[in-house]
Amino acid sequence: MPTCGEHLVKLLEAYGVETIFGIPGVHTVELYRGLEATKIRHITPRHEQGAGFMADGYARASGKPGVCFIITGPGMTNIATAMGQAYADSIPMLVISSVNDTTHLGMAQGRLHELPSQRNLIAGVAAFSHTLLDPGQLPEVLARAFAVFMSARPRPVHIEIPLDVITAKMAGKARAWPLPSRPAPDPKRVAEAAKLLGAAKNPLIIAGGGACDAAQGLQKLAEKLDAPVFTTINGKGVLPPGHRLALAGNLGMDAAQDELAASDVVLALGTEFGETEMYPAARPIVIKGKLIRVDIDPLQLVNQLPADIALFADSTLAVQALNDAIGTHAAKPGKGEARAAGLRKKIAAALWPACKIHGRLLEAISKALPQVVIAGDQTEPVYAANQTYEAPGPRSYFNSSTGYGTLGYGLPAAIGAKLGQPDRPAVCLIGDGGLQFSLPELASAVEAQVPVAVVIWNNTGYGEIKAYMRDRQIPEIGVDIYTPDFVTIAKGLGCEAVRPANMAALHDELVKSAKRKVPTIIEIKATDSLARELAS
Ligand SMILES: Cc1ncc(C[n+]2csc(CCOP(=O)(O)OP(=O)(O)O)c2C)c(N)n1
Ligand SMILES: [Mg+2]
């Protein structure tokens, strides 16, 4: 008879899990006993935070939950930060950990890896955290996790299995439970919303990360209504690049605020109007017309702004219902396009100067790698790209400047993204500070043969914080950090590494990176000739 650990692995496979990120320890070896008998691929990071960020990038790029196997105690405190980022950005992540024997829980007898209460510690960054006290309850608890991922606001779920439970024998066939359907909107409210939208003179759409799977229908809806579309950072790619109704910049900008105020009906889908969207100047959003909100989380529908019509629903189903209800109605085209073009111009004029330099860098990346997935960290080129970049499609652009705002995310997230979308090139866009948080994950990528391109913007310091201190007349302490020779280190870790001298070399290196089996580090120093060419 298999153990609970073996049964769990079979169950995960039955739910369609193909990749697991984990670092085994004596407490979790029972999870590994059955792994060989499945098709699941195990990826070993160099730190549990790396496991969490890889799972996050995998989930964002593929749309499937990222799964991690983590040891009791330090493994869990290490992954807590990655769970915090995934929690803030509504990313499905399943963290399976061990915990001490059921009879030892809460006893504080100095057992290996013991925490006073692991579950209490982690519950704040999870949709739920469950201690499995009986192997027989595993199928039900796992079904709850997948019900959250598939049918509710996706967030990390933590299941901890005591050592005596993980090794206990478990009867029965490993079978995935049928999952609940996704919530469909109330038809009466859909009819009201469609009426408002159909009669709108200046409609506007705001699409967040929760709308990214509704892209196709949303484009149709926007075109029918002739409505300009703002996307949040996690909503990028909902409209194809260059679409006549697509807007750039962010909702905190004066021109965007004016346009919002002038819109008589605003349709906001899958967004919490987060403050990190509005870099560098977040401000309260003021909507003077009618507001229609769509969200899979009822609590989001009453967050910050009361909606005139609140549609509690999956965004894809809501958009489909709105499209059906609006039917063949079509606003006279032209006005929306003109509004969008005017707004794009005003926003471009209001952007800070570095946006141009970094905009060129992003253009070079898209040109060399058209179907690229970009996972970014918190660095100057990312803040700029958040304003200007047009992603080739949804699930193609994300970074840790949103929500929890965690340095060190970009590299492991890009590795996860490449594993989640193996047929597309993946680029990590990261600063010299952020990369030093997770540099050893290059070794994980070499080992797993994951060819990501890591574009480092090296300004030899915590540039953004340095500027922030300078603006406030605070002595610039702790921000001019020593940066190692990234090219030599990366080569030592088994990667290819270059410092391209000009745009042509940058292009070649990006193209070559996608053909390799290992990561390619592409370093750009802010004082290099390439940086000058980007600025010219
Ligand atoms: C875990 C963590 N620690 C500290 C910070 C604060 N922080 C935000 S941006 C930043 C500077 C990052 O430097 P770098 O990656 O080199 O990017 P740059 O701003 O220089 O482009 C720091 C220290 C953070 N966001 N996350
Ligand atoms: Mg820096």
pLDDT tens-place string over residues 501-530: 999 999 999 999 999 999 999 999 999 999
Contact 99, 105 (CB under 8 A): yes
The pLDDT confidence band at residue 192, using thresholds 50, 70 and 90, is very high
pLDDT tens-place string over residues 341-399: 999 999 999 999 999 999 999 999 999 999 999 999 999 999 999 999 999 999 999 99
Ligand 1 atom nearest 430 alpha carbon: 15
Find the mean pLDDT for residues 156-172. Answer: 97
The confidence score (pLDDT) of residue 179 equals 96
Helix and strand element counts for the chain (H, E): 21, 17
The 10 Å CB-count burial string (b at 16+, else e) for 484-521 is eebbebbeebebbbbbbeebeebbebbebbbeeebbbb
Residue type, position 373, single letter: V
pLDDT tens-place string over residues 426-439: 999 999 999 999 99
CA of 209 to the centre of ligand 2 (A): 27
Answer whether 150 contacts ligand 1 (Cβ < 6 A). no
Contact 239, 222 (CB under 8 A): yes
The confidence score (pLDDT) of residue 107 equals 94
Answer whether 379 contacts ligand 1 (Cβ < 6 A). yes
CA of 285 to the centre of ligand 1 (A): 27
Answer whether 428 contacts ligand 1 (Cβ < 6 A). no
The pLDDT confidence band at residue 459, using thresholds 50, 70 and 90, is very high
Answer whether 146 contacts ligand 1 (Cβ < 6 A). no
Q: Which of 260, 259, 303, 267 is nearest to 195 (CA)?
A: 267
> What are the tokens at 171?
């009867």
Which ligand has an atom closest to residue 431 CA?
Answer: 1
Answer whether 223 contacts ligand 1 (Cβ < 6 A). no
Best mutation site among 379, 407, 482 for ligand 1 pocket (most ligand atoms within 8 Å of CB): 407
The confidence score (pLDDT) of residue 336 equals 96
Question: How many CB atoms are closer than 10 A to CB 332?
Answer: 7
CA of 149 to the centre of ligand 1 (A): 30
Q: Which of 56, 104, 98 is nearest to 76 (CA)?
A: 98
pLDDT at 321 over 80: yes
The confidence score (pLDDT) of residue 29 equals 97
pLDDT at 149 over 80: yes
Find the mean pLDDT for residues 397-407. Answer: 97
Ligand 1 atom nearest 381 alpha carbon: 21
pLDDT tens-place string over residues 322-335: 999 998 877 777 89
The confidence score (pLDDT) of residue 332 equals 76
Find the mean pLDDT for residues 487-495. Answer: 98
Ligand 1 atom nearest 81 alpha carbon: 1
The confidence score (pLDDT) of residue 333 equals 77
Contact 99, 131 (CB under 8 A): yes
pLDDT at 216 over 80: yes
The angle that helices 254-262 and 335-350 make with each other, rounded to 10 degrees, is: 160
Distance from the Cα of residue 246 to its chain's centroid: 21
The confidence score (pLDDT) of residue 334 equals 84
> What are the tokens at 288?
């003077």
Find the mean pLDDT for residues 449-453. Answer: 98
Answer whether 431 contacts ligand 1 (Cβ < 6 A). yes
Distance from the Cα of residue 311 to its chain's centroid: 24
CA of 405 to the centre of ligand 1 (A): 9
pLDDT tens-place string over residues 22-54: 999 999 999 999 999 999 999 999 999 999 999
End-to-end distance of the chain based on CA atoms, in angstroms? 68
Percent of the chain with pLDDT over 70: 100
